[in-house]
Structure 1
Amino acid sequence: MTLFEPVTLGRLVLDNRIVMAPMTRSRAESGNDMPNALMREYYTQRASAGLIITEGTHPNAEGKGYCRTPGLYTDAQQAAWADICDSVHQRGGKIVLQLMHCGRVAHPDNKAEGARTVAPSAIAAKGKIYTEGGMQGFAEPEAMTEADIQQTIADYADATRRAYAAGFDGVELHCTSGYLPAQFLSTGTNQRDDRYGGSLENRLRFVLELLAAMAAVDGADRVGMRICPGNPFNDLHDDDPAETFGALLEAVSPMGLAYLHVIRMPALQDNIALAKAHFDGPLMVNDSYSLDEAEQAIDGAAIAAVSFGRAFIANPDLPKRFKQGLPLTEINLSTLYTPGPEGYTDYPAVD
């Protein structure tokens, strides 16, 4: 097997196994969370990927954490995303929407007026978040009621319906990096005493109900999930992430998801081995893979694709560069989250 061979992940048929990883880039419109023409150009430039996974996109106004990130909960946003999907498809690409609810990782300055910050429990994250007014401490969230939980699950399902109506080939649940699904899974952030907290079974419930609701829209074989067991980002802590995610994957595996997207963290634990032990479907792996490492990782049976982040930012024609052994452009880290085209759409292709 090589990276340049086609692969089928659920209902997603990819021309190659080189996937563009989801990356927040903060280029959406301020104030209305709208995708725009600049984003269309950015994704279209990278349509030679076997699959593009978009930046994290919030399914409701409460889910927004960072400034200038896009949403998918209004008709106008749906129409703007449809324009992006159409452009990517015209170039022969496939594109999946990543749904990301930030939960407690937020500040009111980054949200629409009146939008709450919610989480499993009313525990503020330690640290600060960027706002247009400078760095601010994370807001203390409101503990979600069961009605809030059911509404959030419904919002994920509605965003999934909107994604398919806009032309996305699939959707991915962001279930790591300290955001809302991971907050429900983790003992440090979930201190509830109802059916969504306490026991391991209860801490899994929110994520399993989310996936079921997303899969009910048009099948589990258009749905992926991204995980990174043990990831401490955004002040996340779980007493036993291997146990938590092992149980989660045992419960998820029979659903028939399109893929499981696993971020390796070898300094903490072997997440890929954990995924292989508990998940029967196709794996997509991520985190700073070189071309040689990626080629070695593909085995056809379990690891079906490799996603690349920073390399795709600076090299819109990454599959071509890989295939022809061409040098890679270096990324400019100072423009990762700045508004405008610099460091976003001005990286040149080989031709």
Structure 2
Amino acid sequence: MTTSFEPLDLAGVTLSNRIVMSPMTRSRAYGPGQAPTEATAVYYAQRASAGLIVSEGIQPSVVGQGYPNTPGLHSPEQVEAWRRVTDAVHEKDGVIFAQLMHTGRIGHPSLLPDGLIPVAPSPVAAKSQVFTAEGLQDCVTPKELTPAEIEQTIADFVAAARNAVAAGFDGVEIHGANGYLIQQFLSDNVNVRTDEWGGTTQGRIRFGVEVARAVAEAIGAHRVGFRISPGNPYNDIVESDLPTRYGELLTALSPLGLAYLHLMEGPDRELTLQLRKQWQGTFILNPFTHPAPTGPESLRLVEDGTTDAVSFGALFLANPDLPLRLQQDGPFNTPDAATFYGGDERGYTDYPTLS
């Protein structure tokens, strides 16, 4: 029986355990031009005992930003700042991937320069609100991407992936979940296109597949993961026929030889098992435990073969030494939700370790 505390070969990189730090937006990129700070380096280095750290969502382009103070990977200043973060993690023998997150229609013009507005597959506004410097505001009607702009957006992902490697990341995770741009292309209610980027299942999956293919060709498939959240309604997403749609997505992604698939699970465990069986590479599961955060009981999913590794979100945020705490069955610090987004070191780098 395999346990979560055994090593895992991730496309040629040996992870010390099968406990993954899930990507979590913290909105603390206070450096010049949405760059991470010294505190960011401390934060991730504290958590380097994870088998794999997946960073907070990092926008691959200026227009990909959807929240205040989130970091980018599209400027030399950002690359230099992230290098200090990855160096700090590697000094602790950690492995860290950069999550590339284009938020698409989720955002607001006040967050963007030069009169830009959020973009999407189709000009359909999300029935939701986003945080801005002026407080919560309604999402606006986004600009529909032209075919040429879609190709440019793919190129932006490629450039950000190259920047991630230059910044010392061990790889990248393409964010195809949580109602952001790639899942917007997959959805019924956001993607109402009738061209080759919409309409059919093959059209809907095309953008995500082309992003993955282009990034894999640029930096090597062994450095690329892909995250999905089938049926997740977050950010006003509607998807139908999940087994077919995501089955076709995995059929198209599998030949690329990516490092891993990262599934943010919904309530349908049968779908999880279908996708797990279909995916031939490393499978990382963020299990459905709503309304509670993922906890120690989820380690059994490695033991019974449901997944190769388990990702933890809020529990890792609050417990820098989470693998040790899981191995010793606690105790666990309680996450402080009031400090999740923005702020200073409180709720960021001041959670105590067992030592």
1:226-272 per-residue CA deviation (whole Å, 9 max, x = no partner) reads 11100000000122222211110111112111111011211x56342
1:320 corresponds to 2:304: no
| Matched-pair contact (CA < 8 Å) for 2:296–2:329 | no
Partner of 2:109: 108
Give the alignment partner of residue 294 of structure 2, picking from 276, 289, 293: 289
| Matched-pair contact (CA < 8 Å) for 1:12–1:170 | no
Deviation at 1:217, TM superposition (A): 1.4
Structure 1 residues 31 and 102: CA distance shift in structure 2, 3 A: farther
C-alpha distance in 2 between matches for 1:143 and 1:43: 36
User: Aligned runs of 1:156-171 on 2, under 5 Å?
Assistant: 156-171=157-172
C-alpha distance in 2 between matches for 1:11 and 1:224: 14
Three-state SS of the structure 1 residue aligned to 2:344 is coil
Partner of 2:314: 310
Partner of 2:88: 87
1:121-148 per-residue CA deviation (whole Å, 9 max, x = no partner) reads 0000001111121110002100001111
Q: Give the letter aligned to residue 208 of structure 2.
A: V
Structure 1 residues 161 and 128: CA distance shift in structure 2, 3 A: same
Partner of 2:203: 202
1:275-323 per-residue CA deviation (whole Å, 9 max, x = no partner) reads 12322111101144322331x2114866211110111111001111112
C-alpha distance in 1 between matches for 2:175 and 2:163: 17
C-alpha distance in 1 between matches for 2:270 and 2:304: 20
| Matched-pair contact (CA < 8 Å) for 2:282–2:308 | yes
1:337 corresponds to 2:337: no
C-alpha distance in 2 between matches for 1:219 and 1:180: 23
Greater displacement, 341-350 / 24-33: 24-33
C-alpha distance in 2 between matches for 1:236 and 1:269: 20
1:124 corresponds to 2:125: yes
C-alpha distance in 2 between matches for 1:301 and 1:237: 30
C-alpha distance in 1 between matches for 2:294 and 2:173: 21
C-alpha distance in 1 between matches for 2:21 and 2:286: 10
| Matched-pair contact (CA < 8 Å) for 2:108–2:117 | no
C-alpha distance in 2 between matches for 1:196 and 1:181: 11
Structure 1 residues 36 and 233: CA distance shift in structure 2, 3 A: same
Q: Give the letter aligned to residue 4 of structure 1.
A: F
User: Aligned runs of 1:138-157 on 2, under 5 Å?
Assistant: 138-157=139-158
Deviation at 1:117, TM superposition (A): 1.0
C-alpha distance in 1 between matches for 2:273 and 2:111: 38
1:34 corresponds to 2:35: yes
* TM-score (normalizing by structure 2): 0.95
C-alpha distance in 1 between matches for 2:120 and 2:298: 38
Greater displacement, 67-76 / 10-19: 10-19
User: Aligned runs of 1:125-274 on 2, under 5 Å?
Assistant: 125-266=126-267, 268=268, 270-274=270-274
| Matched-pair contact (CA < 8 Å) for 1:230–1:269 | no
Partner of 2:54: 53
* Ranges of 4+ aligned residues in structure 1 off by more than 4 Å: 299-302
C-alpha distance in 1 between matches for 2:184 and 2:13: 29
Structure 1 unaligned blocks of 5 or more? none
C-alpha distance in 1 between matches for 2:74 and 2:241: 35
C-alpha distance in 2 between matches for 1:325 and 1:87: 28
Give the alignment partner of residue 350 of structure 1, picking from 338, 344, 354: 354
C-alpha distance in 1 between matches for 2:348 and 2:298: 26
| Matched-pair contact (CA < 8 Å) for 1:48–1:93 | yes
What is the identity percentage for the equivalent residue pairs of Structure 1 and Structure 2? 45
| Matched-pair contact (CA < 8 Å) for 1:229–1:245 | yes
Partner of 1:18: 19
Structure 1 residues 190 and 305: CA distance shift in structure 2, 3 A: same
Structure 2 unaligned blocks of 5 or more? 288-292
Partner of 1:277: 277
Deviation at 1:91, TM superposition (A): 0.7
C-alpha distance in 1 between matches for 2:120 and 2:110: 18
The count of corresponding residues between Structure 1 and Structure 2 is 349
C-alpha distance in 2 between matches for 1:300 and 1:112: 49
Three-state SS of the structure 1 residue aligned to 2:308 is strand
Three-state SS of the structure 2 residue aligned to 1:298 is helix
